[in-house]
Amino acid sequence: MTAAVIDGTAVARQVREEVGKGVAQLVAAGGTAPGLATVLIGDDPASEVYVRNKRRLCVAAGMADLHRHLPGDVDQASAAALIDSLAADPAVSGILLQLPTPAHLDAEALLARIPAAKDVDGLTTANAGLLAQGRPGLRPCTPSGVMVLLDQYDVPLQGAEAVVVGRSVLVGRPMAQLLLERNATVTICHSRTRDLAEVCRRADVLVVAAGIPGLVGADAVKPGATVIDVGIHRGEDGLHGDVDTAAVAAVAGRITPVPGGVGPMTIAMLLANTLTAATAQQGSGG
């Protein structure tokens, strides 16, 4: 058996095209184009690349690019004042604080200043609480993107055994909650899990977001399972995930590649969240 490859690049393109149409419809109906405020503090090269990609795709979807860049030595009060001004600005539909921030800043306190209605990363405690209670709200982009991939490839979730490796507030926990919403039976694994491979082998759907290169091998995968690799690591010979892709592809039914799997979906869902936020703020439903 060789696993079918889940093409995140193609699905992300579809999502972005749909968002572009939604933006055009909003404007045609007399609304305002959504505005995405990316906030970059300092000059971290990786963060600069991520933000540049987000801004480029935001503009391509017909949205306003309201980027703000603060120096790396900015103080907490000044950074907080910028977030507050964006929160109060009606032109700003969504605010994204690029993480990590410089070490001297309290990123949690800055995130807490973002109104839930403009939290297009889905990271505020308010949106996390709405997700935990199964109520509508803005969802974290990466887990939302995984759900779209599973749906696009007709992966059955109702009654399925799903295992999530990783318990971060960014991916692992919201991923488990989104799967639970779809009536999967969900197990969360982490660094203290006994016999990780044995638990993973139960999964019809295995989502690996542990941040450890090559953590999951063929011995941890049920034959025919769908394997979603959220990890991304730069090695000497290119990018790798948390899954030993070549070995696992011989056992799994479907697998996401790295790169070209979950990664492109994250920005696509950021744009979808920004459109959702703008539609709600402009009173057109959502």
240-268 residue pLDDT tens: 999 999 999 999 999 999 999 999 999 99
* Residue 286 confidence (pLDDT): 42
Nearest-angstrom CA–CA distance, 248 and 226: 10
Exposure string (b/e) for 14-39, b if CB count within 10 Å is 16 or more?
A: ebbeebbebbeebeeeebebbbbbbb
pLDDT at 285 over 50: no
What's at 180, amino acid-wise?
L
The DSSP call for residue 117 is G
Which one of 25, 73, 89, 98 is the catalytic residue? Answer: 98
Q: Residue 1 CB: number of other CB atoms within 10 A?
A: 10
Nearest-angstrom CA–CA distance, 19 and 63: 10
Q: Once rounded to an integer, what is the mean pLDDT over residues 150-162?
A: 98
pLDDT grade for 1, boundaries at 50, 70 and 90? low
Q: Mark residue 111 as left, alpha or beta (left: phi above 0; alpha: psi -120 to 50; beta: remaining).
A: alpha
pLDDT at 147 over 80: yes
Active site residue 121: yes
The two structure tokens encoding residue 52: 């540049």
Question: Average pLDDT over the chain, rounded to whole?
Answer: 96
Pairing of strands 238-240, 233-235: antiparallel
Q: Once rounded to an integer, what is the mean pLDDT over residues 69-77?
A: 98
What's at 249, amino acid-wise?
A
Active site residue 133: no
Which one of 119, 121, 242, 244 is the catalytic residue? Answer: 121
**Looking at 181-185, 234-238, 268-272, which range is the least confident one?**
234-238
pLDDT grade for 141, boundaries at 50, 70 and 90? very high
Active site residue 222: no
**CA end-to-end distance (rounded Å), the chain:** 43
What percent of the chain stands above pLDDT 70?
99
Which one of 54, 177, 204, 242 is the catalytic residue? Answer: 54
* Residue 274 confidence (pLDDT): 98
User: Going along the chain, which residue ranges are E strands?
Assistant: 4-5, 35-41, 64-65, 68-70, 94-97, 161-165, 185-189, 205-208, 226-229, 233-235, 238-240, 254-255
Nearest-angstrom CA–CA distance, 65 and 133: 33
pLDDT digits (tens, 9 = 90+) for 181-222: 999 999 999 989 999 999 999 999 999 999 999 999 999 999
